[in-house]
Amino acid sequence: MSVGFRAVQWNRDKLVYDGILVAAVALYIAGFGVVAWRIEPPKNMPEAIDLWIRATGTCAFLMLTVILWIGPLARLSPRFRPLLYNRRHFGVLTFIVAVAHFGFLLSWYIAQHNLPNLGAELTKWEDCGKFIGFPFKTLGIGALLILFLMAATSHDFWLAFLTPRIWKSLHMALYVAYALVVMHVALGIMQSEGTMLIPLMLVGGAGSVAALHIIAGWRERTGDRGNALNADGWIAVGPPYAIPDKCARIVAAPGGERIAVFRDGTQIGALTNLCAHQNGPVGEGRIIDGCVTCPWHGYQYRLRDGCAPPPFTEKLATYRVRINRGLLEVDPRPLPPGTPAGIDIPREAISEILMPKTAM
């Protein structure tokens, strides 16, 4: 992939995903407004604006919570992977809703000809030393700035320019943004409202995010332990036929980096488990149209050499594989990306390897 700018490549899946997202957000905000208006009609303009501050604020919090659910859910079950496909657009829409929240806040001050008070509130340094009474809007603004940074760098141009490694690290700031939002609510509205609804919303949101991460992390921990090496430093993968056709078995090199060993009929190849696009788990994908296909966004690579088919130019690191006494083995030392390393299972071993039961 070149680092030149390329407009968003729309397809039907992205349009459907975004359509559902926008509809859900519009429904939530409109529903919140209608219900709140009926329960307690605003008496003046500031009260009406306050209602929309709450609608957009709770919407942004819920959206952030759902975004943070998607990662661990996709690790726990492939059924949730479609949510991951266009998560960046989800993030950009969350930023837009958060900007609307901030915009309504400004309108609230402007409606009362009170805008300078906001500046005074944000720069009241003596309040910064307090816990209750801390200028909580600064926390919200901090979260908004992080969301801006992430939305601004969400395009594939930045992904390629910064490299997936740096881009991923940068986008982990979402956790910091979420923490700031939780404390923005806890030190803000939760202090002025006596209701238990807000604490419950925070506990439910942040608690579910933490629980999902713990469960997914617990299940992943075995994958981080490097597989045992044999005498000459190779990793035993097992009998080749134990790998389902057009799928992979993932093994871990001694440092914990993962290797995806694929079988496509009688062809075997090992690639790094990191997709060149967003470091997605290539080994959890399948071979489609003769190419290893990443389950996250469908980036494809040839099994034999880890190169994307023309006109694409991405390359994955490959690993040497061999059949040793009927067992498939992989050398955990990576080869330069694009190095041919796939093998064909020897003809004389095929019947034994592919059809062990009939052969016996």
Partner 1 sequence: MTRRHRFIHRVLWPILALVVATGFVLALWLRPPPEPGQVRAAPMERPA
Q: How far is the CB of 274 from partner 1 (least distance, A)?
A: 6
Residues touching partner 1, count (CB under 8 A)? 55
**CB-wise, 4 or 255, nearer to partner 1?**
255
Residue selected from 257, 286, 327, 335 as contacting partner 1 according to rule CB under 8 A: 257
**Which CB, 70 or 268, lies closer to partner 1?**
70
The window from 26-34, 263-271, 274-282, 301-309 that contacts partner 1 (CB under 8 A) reads 274-282
The DSSP secondary-structure symbol of 154 reads: -
Contacting residue, 91, 281, 338, 342, with partner 1 by CB under 8 A: 281
Instruction: Please report whether residue 95 would count as binding partner 1 according to CB under 8 A.
Output: no
Residue ranges in 210-229 that form contacts with partner 1 under rule CB under 8 A? 210, 213, 217, 220, 224
Write out the two tokens for 98.
């958060």
Q: Which amino acid is at 272?
A: T
| Residues making up the chain, counted from first to last | 360
Distance CA 242, CA 261 (A): 11
Contact set for partner 1, span 183-202 (CB under 8 A): 183, 186-194, 199, 202
Backbone dihedral angles phi then psi of residue 262, each to the nearest 5 degrees: -100, 150
The distance of closest approach from Cβ of residue 172 to partner 1 in the complex, given in angstroms and rounded to an integer, is: 6
CB-based contacts of 53, cutoff 8 Å, min separation 6: 101, 104, 105, 108
User: Which residue type does 314 have?
Assistant: E
Here's the x/- map for partner 1, 145-184, by CB under 8 A: it reads as: --------------------x--xx--x--xx-xx--xx-
108 contacts partner 1 (rule: CB under 8 A): yes
Alpha carbons 24 and 31: distance in angstroms, whole number: 10
Measured CA to CA, the distance from residue 319 to residue 340 in angstroms comes to 9
Work out the angle at residue 299's Cα, subtended by the Cα atoms of residues 294 and 302, and round it to the nearest 5 degrees.
85
Alpha helices in the chain (DSSP H): 12-39, 45-76, 81-85, 87-111, 115-122, 136-152, 156-162, 164-171, 173-187, 189-192, 197-224, 347-354, 356-359
- Tokens 């009927």: give the residue: 326
CB 160: neighbour CB atoms within 10 A? 19
Closest contact distance (angstroms) between CB of 55 and partner 1 is 11
When the beta carbons of 224 and 245 are compared against partner 1, the nearer one is 224
Q: Which of residues 307-346 bind partner 1 (CB under 8 A)?
A: none
| Binding mask of the shown chain, residues 54 to 93, with x at each position contacting partner 1 by CB under 8 A | x--x------------------------------------
H-run or E-run covering 330: strand 327-330
Q: Which stretch binds partner 1 (CB under 8 A): 8-16, 126-134, 237-245, 316-324?
A: 126-134
| Tokens of residue 251, six digits | 């093994």
Contacts with partner 1 by CB under 8 A lie at 40, 46-47, 50, 53-54, 57, 105, 108-109, 112, 114, 117-118, 120-121, 124, 127, 131-132, 137, 165, 168-169, 172, 175-176, 178-179, 182-183, 186-194, 199, 202-203, 206, 210, 213, 217, 220, 224, 255-257, 274, 279, 281
